[in-house]
Structure 1
């Protein structure tokens, strides 16, 4: 069978110039540059080991995503990114990231009611490639932290694969896992319950940036407890978490 004309041209460009020129011919130069940047950030992360970094000096990005549903494999899409920086036990709310994303599909009524994000709000929002580029630029090489991170990781990985054919190399620490280690007999590890028990004010739930800031304050609370146990590096923390 004769291969499609575009595929053959892309393969010839790849042989002559490499990955980026080939992609540029298919996607256009701006998307190709964004893809190349996303791939480079991810590649640089693989070279770095942060396990020996003291927890008091560790720079992290706490993040959250809002999505149209639960399953990227069924066509659900990211509709907003939120993130905030922490250094050691300090939360830097002024160093934050927030963006809506045009999912290029209708947002279900239940999600509109849950998040407050309407179809009209995302109509003129940037597309996934642009926001993913900006998000990867924001996080750089830092450790990622999220609550119940499985949902966010699967959507982030799906987005990275669809736009740039890569999987996430960044470590992602889950505050739910930390909570289960510190308080193994709790009845609930839902974010609202953990925030309430830690006396952290609940502001606007299911808003990606607000959830990120609240999760950052929860990590701050847990980090102080962790340091009290003389656990001083990220590697030490992972060693303890692996036993539970």
Structure 2
């Protein structure tokens, strides 16, 4: 009960404009600064319209998360963040982001087998707030791209709300949805099969950065095909996707 009153007092002070001293005293100065940054990023993102920007010139970030399971509301946690920058049709592999996260819980055996991430690897990793802050700093106000993005958006939203009481305001474009428009009638749209179809080498699956790089290469393949169809802006693409 005492803890709940403390949290309530913190949010009262936030609404009254006393966010910095309130958080600094209850969360620590570093966490307070990280939270303030994340909140300001969310607010600024809402001001920026990107629908008229040419796809061939846009800077976008392709990202992926590895997690302990499928349900952040049931105790599952993010284990790693991976992301890579694209500038128009160019993959900037030297401008990438990767970090493990200490999930504050045991990594299930089947997740270790799938991802290669062990309890020993994450025990000294930074906490969620730190990595989330660094990830948001890396992506800036850019469009986000992910494959089968529902899972990643679900966890990212849960992390943003838990740490900073904000929702994700970035647009997230799903390469699976683009694939369904470009290649209708396929029996499945999993990443492995789409990479194989596009002739993209599969390196290390279920590694957040490697999956991001492979998905980025898939996006570049789709970008060329979209431009050939005279789909020029992000708004053009969303108009086509809305019909499929």
TM-score range, shorter chain: over 0.9
Spell out, residue by residue over 1:45-75, the C-alpha distance to the aligned partner (whole angstroms, 9 max, x if none).
1100000000111110000000000000110
Contact 2:10 2:19 in 1 (8 A): no
State the 1:105 CA deviation: 0.1
Number of matched pairs: 244
What aligned pairs does 1:49-68 form with structure 2 within 5 A after superposition?
49-68=49-68
Given the superposition, is the C-alpha separation of residues 236 and 28 from structure 1 closer, same or farther in structure 2, using an over 3 Å criterion? same
Spell out, residue by residue over 1:104-127, the C-alpha distance to the aligned partner (whole angstroms, 9 max, x if none).
000000000000000000000000
Taking the aligned partners of 2:143 and 2:66, their CA distance within structure 1 comes to 20
What is the aligned-residue RMSD (CA, Å)?
1.8
Taking the aligned partners of 1:178 and 1:8, their CA distance within structure 2 comes to 43
Given the superposition, is the C-alpha separation of residues 74 and 11 from structure 1 closer, same or farther in structure 2, using an over 3 Å criterion? closer
State the 1:23 CA deviation: 2.1
Given the superposition, is the C-alpha separation of residues 81 and 230 from structure 1 closer, same or farther in structure 2, using an over 3 Å criterion? same
TM-score of the two chains, using structure 2 as the length reference: 0.96
Given the superposition, is the C-alpha separation of residues 162 and 113 from structure 1 closer, same or farther in structure 2, using an over 3 Å criterion? same
Taking the aligned partners of 2:73 and 2:215, their CA distance within structure 1 comes to 27
Taking the aligned partners of 2:135 and 2:153, their CA distance within structure 1 comes to 14
State the 1:28 CA deviation: 1.0
Given the superposition, is the C-alpha separation of residues 4 and 162 from structure 1 closer, same or farther in structure 2, using an over 3 Å criterion? closer
Spell out, residue by residue over 1:64-108, the C-alpha distance to the aligned partner (whole angstroms, 9 max, x if none).
000000000110000000000001111111100000000000000
What aligned pairs does 1:46-195 form with structure 2 within 5 A after superposition?
46-195=46-195
Taking the aligned partners of 1:181 and 1:216, their CA distance within structure 2 comes to 18
Taking the aligned partners of 2:218 and 2:227, their CA distance within structure 1 comes to 14
State the 1:219 CA deviation: 0.2
Unaligned runs of 5+ in 1: none
Contact 1:66 1:80 in 2 (8 A): yes
Residue number in structure 1 paired with 2:203 = 203
Taking the aligned partners of 1:11 and 1:170, their CA distance within structure 2 comes to 24
Residue number in structure 1 paired with 2:41 = 41
Contact 1:10 1:25 in 2 (8 A): no
